Amino acid sequence: MLKKDLGLLILILVVGTVTAFLNPRFLSPINIANTANLIGLFGLFSIGEGFVIITGGIELSVGSVFALLGAIFIDLLVTYNVNWVVAVLLMVLAGILIGAAHGLLIARLRLQPFVVTLCGLLIYRGLARWYTDDGTAGFQFGQSFPTLEWLAAGRSFGIPHTFITFILVAIIMGVVLHRSVFGRYLFAVGKNEEAARYSGIRTERVIVAAYVICGGLAGLAAVFFAMYTRSISPASHGNFYELYGIAAAVLGGCSLRGGEGSVLGIVLGSVLLQILQNLVNLLGIPSSLNFAVMGTVILIGVLADRQFARYRRAKTGGAAARIS
């Protein structure tokens, strides 16, 4: 896994150098700060997506969760004058409950993750549109929440708070994934759930916990996105954002087969993804091609993972043959 991360870091440096050469504005302080802000916004929920993928699952409803929770969050502040701390905690709790519901349906009822989260994508998007009467949820003219705005959209020493939050979450989740028993259980379930169950691991709890983590981080990210956009149009807000999370995780070495991945890889995948998006913008490539870039990135990541798996199996088989 370290080789994958090192290769990804080298790729980031190469792409960054080429981008800076083609357009020097890439290295301007404002562009770097804006890119860091986007890395934080999209990287935050990508970590949760990575945890789910490591278990062999998938989470397709993240974008719709942003639309629903974002609309509710703004409504709580604007219409009901709820304290912003309480509103943020409610959104994180709502995300956790959504994750728990997905996890239970997958782990207890043995439903396919793709089906469960696809249904969630449709349900939450529909609820968001119903909640706002297919309108737009936004802050009223002159309405301000200085502390919340500073924490969610401000900067310290020129570094966006979204990026700082992303790094702090990455450190915590890195310890959880790579330095805890729970992390080892996640990899074991992703490798072979049946074997993990026979070895005494409560696989159902592990799977539910992965979706809970993903849901909680999605709830937190929903708040950041709401404060970033300042308004929520449920029909379009968060559309295809789940693909960013999946792409970042796959680029970072998380195998869609499960059982592989690292938090450092997801961080690097998030960075590379936003640099590629920035490259598209700086070179004047039509923004309509963003999704084409995203699809190409995911395809390349899957192909690279497949080739790496073949190489590793061939190497392991050759070593076994030499021993025998």
Look at residue 318 in the predicted model and tell me its pLDDT.
Answer: 58
- Check pLDDT > 90 for residue 303: no
User: How much of the chain exceeds pLDDT 70, in percent?
Assistant: 93
pLDDT number for residue 265: 93
Which region among 11-25, 243-257, 292-306 has the lowest average model confidence (pLDDT)?
Answer: 292-306
Please tell me the predicted confidence (pLDDT) of residue 8.
Answer: 82
With 70 as the cut, is the pLDDT of residue 87 above it?
A: yes
- Distance of alpha carbon 148 from alpha carbon 139, whole angstroms: 13
Q: Which residue has the higher pLDDT, 251 or 223?
A: 223
Helix then strand then coil, in percent of the chain rounded to 5, is 75, 0, 20
What's the mean per-residue pLDDT of the chain? 89
User: Which strand (E) or helix (H) includes residue 67?
Assistant: helix 62-78
Q: Which pLDDT band holds residue 319 (cuts at 50, 70, 90)?
A: low
* Banded model confidence at residue 320, pLDDT cuts 50, 70, 90: low
Tally the residues of the chain: 324
CA distances from 12 to 16, 26, 67, 143 (A): 6, 13, 31, 40
pLDDT digit string (tens) for 43-57?
Answer: 999 999 999 999 999
From residue 267, alpha-carbon distances to 64, 115, 139, 232, 273 in Å are: 23, 27, 32, 27, 10
pLDDT score recorded for residue 1: 61
Q: Can you give the C-alpha Rg of the chain in angstroms?
A: 20
Q: What pTM value is reported for the model?
A: 0.90
Class of residue 81 by CB neighbours under 10 A (exposed 0-12, middle 13-18, buried 19+): exposed
Alpha carbon separation from 16 to 13, 48, 278, 298 (Å, rounded)? 5, 26, 10, 19
Least confident stretch, 25-29, 117-121, 223-227: 25-29
Q: For the segment 168-226, what is each residue's pLDDT rounded down to a tens digit?
A: 999 999 999 999 999 999 999 999 999 999 999 999 999 999 999 999 999 999 999 99
pLDDT band of 324, cuts 50, 70, 90: low
Smallest CA-to-CA distance from 170 within 255, 267, 253 is with 267
| Residues in Cβ contact with 314 at an 8 Å cutoff, skipping those fewer than 6 apart | none
Q: Distance between CA 279 and CA 302 in Å, rounded?
A: 22
Is there a contact between 224 and 162 (Cβ–Cβ < 8 Å)? yes
**Cβ atoms 252, 235 nearer than 8 A:** no
Give the pLDDT confidence of 146-165 residue by residue, as tens digits.
899 999 989 998 899 999 99
Q: Is the pLDDT of residue 314 over 80?
A: no
Comparing C-alpha atoms, which of 250, 313, 298, 240 is closest to residue 54? 250
- Tell which residue, 88, 81, 87, 92, has the closest CA to residue 140: 81
Q: What is the pLDDT of residue 201?
A: 92
- The per-residue pLDDT for 317 is 62
Q: Extract the runs of DSSP E, i.e. beta strands, from the chain.
A: 137-138, 155-156, 159-160, 231-232
**Per-residue pLDDT tens for 120-135?**
999 999 999 999 999 8
Q: Which of 316, 286, 166, 136 is nearest to 226 (CA)?
A: 136
Say what the pLDDT of residue 49 is.
Answer: 96
Q: In the prediction, which pLDDT does 202 show?
A: 94
Rounded to whole angstroms, the Cα distance separating 211 from 99 reads: 5
Q: What is the mean pLDDT of residues 263-287?
A: 86
pLDDT-derived band at 322, boundaries 50, 70, 90: low
**Least confident among 276-280, 305-309, 315-319:** 315-319
Check the CA dihedral 178-180-184-187 and report its sign: negative
pLDDT of residue 307: 75
* pLDDT reported for residue 289: 74
Residue in the structure block whose two tokens are 């960075």: 271
